[in-house]
Structure 1
Amino acid sequence: MTKRRSVLRISSRQRTHFQANPWRIRRMITELHALHEIRHAINQALELDTVLEEIYSQTSRLMDTRQFYLALYSPEQELIEFALAVENGQRVSWPARPYANGLTEWILQHRRPLRINAHNLDPAVAPIIVGQPVQSFLGVPIVLGEQVLGVMSVQSVERAEAYSAHDEQILTMIADQAAVAIAHAKRFAAVDQQLQARVAQLETLEATIRDLNETLDVDTILNRLLDRIQPIMHADAGMVCLLDTEQQRMFIRAIQGYPAEVRRFQFEGWPIDRGIAGLVARTGQPDWTADIRNSSYYVNSRPTTLSQMTVPIVHSGKVLGVMILESDRVGTFNDDTTRFVSQIADHAALSIHNARIHQQAVEQQALLAQRSQQLNEVLRISQALSANLNLNDLLPEIVRAIQASLGFNIALLSLVDQERPTFMRRRAVVGVPDERWFELRDQLVPIEWYRSVMREEFRISRSYYIPHSHTSYTAIWGNNSDTYRPDLGERRPHEWHQDDALFVPLYDSDNNLISILSVDDPRDRRKPSFESVQVLEIFATQAAIAIENAHLYTITQQLAITDGLTGLFNQRHFMTMLDREVALAYRYNYPLSLLALDIDYFKQYNDNYGHLVGNVLLRDFARLICENVRDVDIVSRNGGEEFTIILPKTDQAGAVLLAERLRVRTAEHLFGQGHITVSVGVATLNNNWDAHTLHDQADQALYRAKNSGRNLVISVP
Structure 2
Amino acid sequence: MEQHGKSRRPLDVSQEKRKPADGPGIRELSLLNAVAEAVGRSLNQEEVLRAALEKIVELEEVRSAYVLLKDLEEGGMKIVGDEAAAGRGATPTAVEAEILQEGVPRCYPDVSHAPELTPIPIPAGAGSFLIIPLPGTVGIAGVLGVFSRLPTRFDEAAVRLFTAVGHHLTRALTNAALYTSLRRQLSQTQTLSPIRAPAVAAPVRDQGMWGIIKRFLETMQVDRCAITLAAPGETTAHLIAGYDQSKENPWVQGIYLSLDRYPEIRRVLETRQPLVVPDVAAEPVLSDIRDLLLSLPIRSMLVVPLIKQNQGIGVVSLSSRGPARAFTRDEIEFCQTLANQAALAIEKSTLFQEIQERANKLQALIHLTKLMTASLNLHEVYDFAVKAAAEFLEVPGVWLLVADDEAREVKVEASHGLQEFAGLIGDRIPYTSGVVGRIMERGEPQYIADVRQESRWPSKRFLDQAGIISFAGIPLLSEGRVLGVLAIFTRQRRLFSPDERALMSALASQAAIAVANARAYQQIQRYASTVAELYEAATQVSGSLDLDETLQKIARGAAASTDAASSTIILFDEWGEITHVVDWEVGEIEVRKSGVSRQVWETCRPVVLPDFGAVPAGTVNPRLLALGRRAAVCLPLQVRERVRGVMWVHYNEPRRVAEEDLHLLASFANQAAIAIENARLFAETRRLANTDALTGLYNHRYFYHLLDAEMKRARRYGRALSLIMIDIDHFKQYNDRYGHLAGDEALRCLAQVLRKNSRRVDSAARYGGEEFAIILPETELSQAAVQAERMRTAAVEQPWPEGHLTISAGAAALTSTMSKVEDLVREADRALYQAKAAGRNQVCLSPPHSP
Structure with bigger gyration radius: 1
TM-score (norm 2): 0.36
Q: Relative contact order: is structure 1 or structure 2 higher (C-alpha 8 Å, sep ≥ 6)?
A: 1
TM-score (norm 1): 0.42
